[in-house]
Chains A and B, each alone.
Chain A
Amino acid sequence: MTNLPYIVASYAVTLVIAGGFSLGAWIRLKHARRQLAAVDPRGRWQ
């Protein structure tokens, strides 16, 4: 495969940035859900 380092770097950059955003959103959602459950025991939004 020609230009392999450029191809691998492109896919890696995409995975790191997209993965970072996905992980960040998941952690933030989990954190918010846990905090809201502690304050609002009705938990209708979780």
Chain B
Amino acid sequence: MDAISATPAVPGRSLFRLANPGRFMRLSGRVLPVLIALGLGFTAVGLVWGMFFSPADWQQGDAVRIMYVHVPAAWVSSAGYVGLAACSAISLIWRHPLADLAAVEIGPVGAGATAICLITGSLWGEPMWGTWWVWDARLTSVLVLFFLYLGHMALVRAFDEPERGYRAGAILALIGAVDLPIIKFSVDWWNTLHQPDTITVTGAPTMYVGMLWPLLFAALGFSFGFGAIVTARLRAAVMERRLRGLLLARAEESLAS
């Protein structure tokens, strides 16, 4: 039987309760439709509001509307990497089998979000800065994040023994987490063409409220959407692993008889 099916649930430890695939599938089956609905709803409201009903910027004109896809994609790409690093830590410390699978499934989706961030940033930079790309600290550190995602995707698939791939990928993901504070503080630590943060956790936002609300709606929508895609992929991965386990068991039975 495969590792994920054989993992016993440890009572009283909520993290390990999800190691039981049946429990995870039941729980995720209930959560997934909610995530899809929230993701679609918030994204639709945020993007329509941002595209048609929010004001243009006095300096940037309508190009500021790119913000409603660029900024949520940037937040989600960093948050996704936090998730990847957390799964990697759980995988290395507790050998949690679902954490391995979650890390594998977060990688491509995070890379996709980072690609959206980089491409839309480039499309915003050309009319505003007069260039598609500059090697400033913010842009370069986000490009490094994109390569970290790609590196993780390649590494977890590079070994014949999946467990070795998961370990190597987890180590890379944890080392790569050092890029996250660099992304966050790059606009403060260095002189960058990229503007400083207009929304911070501690301070009041320096953005007009008519732009802030659609941005927050879009960011919530992207976050729920990211969660929905990862959950759907993870459910598929658990089913695929269960299927492989069943087929292997049948093959062994038929060989033995």
A contact residues vs B (CB 8 Å cutoff): 1-4, 6-7, 9-11, 13-14, 17-18, 20-22, 25-26, 28-29, 31-33, 35-36, 39-40, 44-46
Is there an interface contact between B115 and A10, defined as CB atoms closer than 8 Å?
A: no
B119 at the interface (CB under 8 A from A): yes
Instruction: Describe A's contact surface by its main secondary structure.
Output: helix
Instruction: Describe B's contact surface by its main secondary structure.
Output: helix
- Knowing A9-B123, A35-B243, A36-B243 are in contact, say whether A3-B63 is a contact too (CB < 8 A): yes
Q: Which B residues, 42 to 96, have Cβ-Cβ distances below 8 Å to chain A?
A: 47, 51, 56, 61-63, 65-66, 69-70, 73
Residues in chain B near residue A33, CB distance under 8 A: 239
Is there an interface contact between A14 and B61, defined as CB atoms closer than 8 Å?
A: no
In the bound assembly, the distance between CA atoms of A31 and B28 in angstroms comes to: 18
Is there an interface contact between B116 and A3, defined as CB atoms closer than 8 Å?
A: no
How many A-B pairs fall under 8 Å by CB?
94
Q: Which B residues, 16 to 56, have Cβ-Cβ distances below 8 Å to chain A?
A: 21-22, 25, 47, 51, 56
B193 at the interface (CB under 8 A from A): no
B163 at the interface (CB under 8 A from A): no
CB-nearest residue of chain B to A45: B25
B166 at the interface (CB under 8 A from A): no
Q: Can you list the 10 inter-chain pairs with the closest CB atoms, starting with the nearest?
A: A32-B239, A25-B232, A2-B61, A3-B63, A10-B120, A28-B236, A14-B69, A29-B236, A10-B66, A32-B236
Chain A nearest Cβ from B31, distance in angstroms:
14
Extra contacts, 11 of them, besides A2-B61, A6-B127 (Cβ < 8 A), are: A6-B123, A7-B51, A10-B70, A10-B124, A13-B119, A20-B112, A29-B232, A29-B235, A32-B239, A40-B242, A40-B243
Instruction: Choose one: A3, A14, A39, A46; the contact of B62 (CB below 8 Å).
Output: A3
